[in-house]
Amino acid sequence: MRILMMGLLSLLCVFAQSTVCHAIEIRGVIPNLSLILIVSYGILEGKKRGRGLGLFIGLTQDFLFFHTAGFTGLLYYYIGHLSGYFNKDFYKENYILPLFLLAAGDLLYSLVCYFFLYLLPGDTRFLLYLQRIIIPELVYTAIFALPCYRILFWIDGRIRLLEQRMQARSSSR
């Protein structure tokens, strides 16, 4: 049940990010909904599920939108893994850690993308990239992160409740 729900939510997120989010674009920057989902799920469910979701979303984006299969998948895989480290170490209703981890994940994502997609081909205008892409995307994603995390936290709670009910029914038979 959880895997099916997260798979559908992931696809919805990828398609919303590539279509609907462009309607709220500010100076060419959109919030990274995929990263919000991956970091939130890693925090709520742990390293293994964070990695799995990161790989699924990343490969989906790679196959649909990019020329290099695996780049985004691998990057999101590691971000999901790193955010999953904090699964057991904090109070899940606390919104400060998810916001901090999301900002760190977005910064990591942007810096790795800059290195491989701009610096290696010879574009050395890092400050311009930082000013026009990295910082605005980080802020825009952080603004979207709080309501999204609350929604994902609520969905996760409902799925847990449903799983407990299903388990109670199957054990009573």
Size (the chain), residues: 173
| SS3 labels along the chain | CHHHHHHHHHHHHHHHHHCHHHHHCECCECCCHHHHHHHHHHHHHCHHHHHHHHHHHHHHHHHHHCCCCCHHHHHHHHHHHHHHCCCCCCCCCCCHHHHHHHHHHHHHHHHHHHHHHHHCCCCCCHHHHHHHHHHHHHHHHHHHHHHHHHHHHHHHHHHHHHHHHHHHHHHHC
Residue 88 confidence (pLDDT): 83
- Which residues, in sequence order, are CB contacts of 70 under 8 Å at separation 6+? 59, 62
Token pair 């490969």 in the structure block, residue: 59
The per-residue pLDDT string of the chain (173 residues; one tens digit each, 9 = 90 and over) reads: 788 888 999 999 999 998 998 888 888 899 999 999 999 999 999 999 999 999 999 999 999 988 778 899 999 999 999 999 988 877 777 888 889 999 999 999 999 999 998 999 988 899 999 999 999 999 999 999 989 999 999 998 899 899 889 888 887 76
**Minimal CA–CA distance to 7: which of 72, 61, 52?**
52
Residue 169 confidence (pLDDT): 84
Architecture of 2-172 per CATH?
Orthogonal Bundle (1.10)
Residue 173 confidence (pLDDT): 66
